[in-house]
Structure 1
Amino acid sequence: MVEEHVMEFTEPTSDKLLPDLHPQEQHVFTLVLDLNETLLYTDWKRERGWRTFKRPGVDAFLEHMAKFYEIVVYSDQMNMDLSKLNRDPAKILYVSAHAFESSLQPENCVPIKPYKLETDDTALLDLIPFLEYVARNSPADIRQVLQSYERKDVAKEFLERSKEYQSNE
């Protein structure tokens, strides 16, 4: 009885959280971004209350990625279920500081270092080359690409692979 009442507030009201894509947009990848500790950091102190801080580079990151992706922002979903997005799972990337802990589809996850107010943080900007490469090359299934990174730092690993590829040419 209590569980049913709680589910009314915690479960999505629909199995389709996003509307259908237009037929001409079926090729577009969806970039799902976690809000907390990925794009923002929220802090509470007794003397000043709640404060929210944007991660360095978030504006430039969002502006640039909007040229290539359908962008979806999630906030604090206990169990992120990407299947509810009404999108092809082969075309969804989920960027989060807690990706593997919170997603029911770890094969779609792009982990990023949690943002904790470091002024020299470049993690979002460092992901741009990889995300742009994915968007421009449109792999048939992004999950296979992400699997090749084996939960490593995707931005760093992509940079190393790119350098290695260029030196072999």
Structure 2
Amino acid sequence: MIIEPTSPKLLPDPLREPYYQPPYTLVLELTDVLLHPEWSVRTTPFLPNTPQLPLTPPHPGLLAPGAGRTFHLRLYLRPYLLSLTCGLHAPSPLATGWRFKKRPGIDYLFQQLAPLYEIVIFTAETGMTAYPLIDSIDPQGFVMYRLFRDATRYMEGHHVKDVSCLNRDTSKVILVDCKREAFSLQPFNGMALTKWDGNSEDRTLYDLAHFLKTIALSGVDDVRSVLENYALEDDPIEAFKRRQAQLAQEEEQRLAELAQQKKQGISLGSIAGRFWRSKQ
């Protein structure tokens, strides 16, 4: 088992002119943040002439059917649905395996943040599992780099992502995961989202895009000073929305008070004008 990152510099040096290097780096987990895995046993025939890749499925403890035999990975593309099916060598009417559901808002997140953030997928999954999934959710190539399980530190039973190994200014790095242990070495560089359960009405990624875009457009010098304020929140996105609503309410109240003061000033000026005209 690999317990240290494969390199002390997991990413190449930042781009230099004439190439564009976004001012911030966004590091995203794949599983339960962008995709939701579901184990299923389905009576779906294998597709003929589909390329197969040898793979031990990512969660072998759940593989009761055919345990200990050779499995294969095959990828089906459907609207909002990706499937990894593990089957035996011979075609079978029973297709058993992992289905990965695409979270609503992935495309919006990438499109909104790509000009502001260098987007990196850093997942605790193996490269064999994750690579085709990333290809499927990012056909336009917004993701600049991909890091997998072999780039993590294995500490106390958890795959920890060490921000100091990314070869980036840590004051400009935001790591998004659903497990706080993933960024335990740099807790104020991370955001722990609520684990996505596959709900198709979920709006978290839209709200996340708004949150991260606000940070970038504000020109924050050190993202840790912002993320620290959300470190103890069970749901930092909901906390951000509450604070935004409160600020909007306060601003609305301030504008109403200014309008009232202006109205009163106009009224007093009108009364004074009539008074002086009556004296002439």
Structure 1 and Structure 2 fold alike (TM over 0.5): yes
Indicate whether 1:101 and 2:149 are aligned: no
The corresponding residue for 1:53 is 101
Which of 65, 73, 79 is the equivalent residue of 2:113? Answer: 65
Indicate whether 1:12 and 2:5 are aligned: yes
Q: C-alpha offsets along residues 41-84 of structure 1, whole Å, 9 cap, x if unaligned?
A: 12222343121111111122122221211000011141111111
SS in 2 for 1:102: helix
SS in 1 for 2:160: coil
Which of 151, 170, 194 is the equivalent residue of 1:113? Answer: 194
Structure 1 residue 162: Cα displacement: 2.2
Q: C-alpha offsets along residues 72-109 of structure 1, whole Å, 9 cap, x if unaligned?
A: 001114111111110111111111111x1222211111
Q: C-alpha offsets along residues 16-56 of structure 1, whole Å, 9 cap, x if unaligned?
A: 11111135667711000001100111222234312111111
Q: Which has the higher helix share?
A: 1
Indicate whether 1:139 and 2:220 are aligned: yes
Q: Between Structure 1 and Structure 2, how many residues are aligned?
A: 161
Which 4+ runs in 1 deviate beyond 4 A? 23-27
Indicate whether 1:75 and 2:123 are aligned: yes
Aligned residue identity for 2:163: L
Q: Matches of 1:168 and 1:50 in 2, distance apart?
A: 48
Structure 2 runs not aligned, ≥5 long: 43-95, 125-148, 150-158, 252-280
Aligned residue identity for 2:38: D
Indicate whether 1:40 and 2:35 are aligned: yes
Q: Does the CA contact (< 8 Å) of 1:41 and 1:53 recur in 2?
A: yes
CA RMSD in angstroms, aligned pairs only:
1.9
Range moving further from structure 2, 131-140 or 17-26? 17-26
Q: Does the CA contact (< 8 Å) of 2:192 and 2:236 recur in 1?
A: yes
Structure 1 runs not aligned, ≥5 long: 1-5
Q: What is the TM-score when the length of structure 2 is the normalising length? A: 0.53
